[in-house]
Amino acid sequence: MTQRENFRCMMSGRPYDHVPLDLPMTPPMVDEMERRLGTRDAVRAFELDFGYVSGGSFGDASRWRGEYEKRAVPIPEGAWVGDGGNVEKPGDTASVGASYHLTEMFHPLSHSTTLEEVQSFPWHDLDDPALNAPLKDSVDEVIAEGRVSTISLECTVFESAWYLRGMEQIFTDLVEENGIADWLLDRFAEQSARTAVAAAQAGVDLVRLGDDVGTQRGMMMSVAFWRKHLKPRLHRVVKATKEVNDPPYVQYHSDGDVSEIVDDLIEIGVDIFNPVQPECMPLDGVAARWKDRLAFSGMIGTQTTMPFGSSCEVQEAVGTCEKWIRRGARMIIAPTHVIEPDVPWSNVIALAEAVRRIRP
């Protein structure tokens, strides 16, 4: 049974051979893997179940940078401009060390005052066939290896919009109903839907969607607000993806405690929830409530167990997952986020070995 066949059997409730494993790593951890194992290819080094595919570029970063310069939008020294216009720069290493995710983010559209101004930036043409042209070959390559072909489209709607506009300003736009946030959210929903559909048509097995909408104390907005502004747009993406013949499975990612909207996610067609963050969504409660309607991904804490626990504690966390797998839960075991450089290499090995010992 290939890893792809194993995953499909697990998701459909048929007997399967092993629990799928994923080990997303930051570049410093890839460097560490190369020093220890002589390779930068985690998929083959650990025989991981997932192979990742990608479409084309979403625009020309130089056009965005040129437009910012023309309009006197401040771009800090050392910042990079992405192909969709986002602006970031590395964090201060004196305070954040080698951490990969703690970049400083800027919001270049935050000072735009009209919808027309926002629309006049150099947005790429969603009808351009070159955008997703590479998908078919990329999917075929992963499937030929027997792995689960996966496309990551996290930052599906909300995050892509506020990265450009600013979170506070996006909320203000929606309350004021000035049309700017609605246009941005609709555009990113359409972009995500088109890419997801193209991937599904190319035969991808798993589409990973997501937007962080939770804190570790609950939702970062009211559930009513989420249902009004974000749920319909997410549903649009999921629905379009599921309408393709032989549709892929859909995973949804949000950090934090979003238990108040899990039933909504199931309602609109989400198959897998990620990351089941143990610091605020303990697996015992989540699995007891939703294991018959939803699969789970993650579960091994990157705030606690992976960086600060012992190898034995990593194995114990995997053991909690195994307990629920024995009770019928479907799981992809992985860290709850990318593995940062503060994680001891021995804990990476302990996680991989513990998962591979499980026989469902």
Q: How many CB atoms within 10 Å of residue 22? A: 21
For residue 92, the model assigns a pLDDT of 72
Contacts of 170 (CB under 8 A, 6+ apart): 158, 161, 162, 181, 184
Cα–Cα dist 154/275, whole Å: 12
For residue 257, the model assigns a pLDDT of 98
* pLDDT tens per residue, range 32-73: 999 999 999 999 999 999 999 987 667 789 999 999 999 999
For residue 56, the model assigns a pLDDT of 67
Phi then psi dihedrals of residue 121, to 5 deg: -70, 165
For residue 154, the model assigns a pLDDT of 95
Contacts of 349 (CB under 8 A, 6+ apart): 311
CA dihedral 150, 151, 157, 158 (to 10 degrees): 70
User: Which residues, listed in sequence order, are joined to residue 150 by a DSSP beta bridge?
Assistant: 52, 206
Low-confidence ranges of the chain (pLDDT < 70): 56-57, 93-100
Look over the chain and give the mean of its residue pLDDT values, rounded to a whole number: 95
Strands 80-81 and 87-89: antiparallel
For residue 151, the model assigns a pLDDT of 97
SS3 content of the chain, % helix, strand, coil (to 5): 45, 15, 40
Strands 214-215 and 104-106: unpaired
Cα–Cα dist 82/88, whole Å: 8
For residue 59, the model assigns a pLDDT of 72
Q: For residue 263, which amino acid is it?
A: D
- For helices 167-176 and 180-201, angle between their N-to-C axes, nearest 10 degrees: 110
Omega before residue 275 within 30° of 0, cis: yes
Residue pointed to by tokens 């994923």: 22
Of all residues in the chain, what percent carry a pLDDT higher than 90?
A: 89
* pLDDT tens per residue, range 80-110: 999 999 999 887 766 666 666 778 899 999 9
Provide the whole-model pTM: 0.96
For residue 267, the model assigns a pLDDT of 98
Cα–Cα dist 227/345, whole Å: 41
Tokens of 80: 């990079």
User: Which residues, listed in sequence order, are joined to residue 89 by a DSSP beta bridge?
Assistant: 104
Contacts of 128 (CB under 8 A, 6+ apart): none
Residue pointed to by tokens 């703690």: 102
Describe the strand order of the beta sheet including 80-81 as a list of residue ranges.
Answer: 80-81, 87-89, 104-106
Cα–Cα dist 118/107, whole Å: 12
For residue 340, the model assigns a pLDDT of 92
Q: Is the dihedral of CA 239, 157, 116, 88 positive or negative?
A: negative
> H or E segment at 180?
helix 180-201
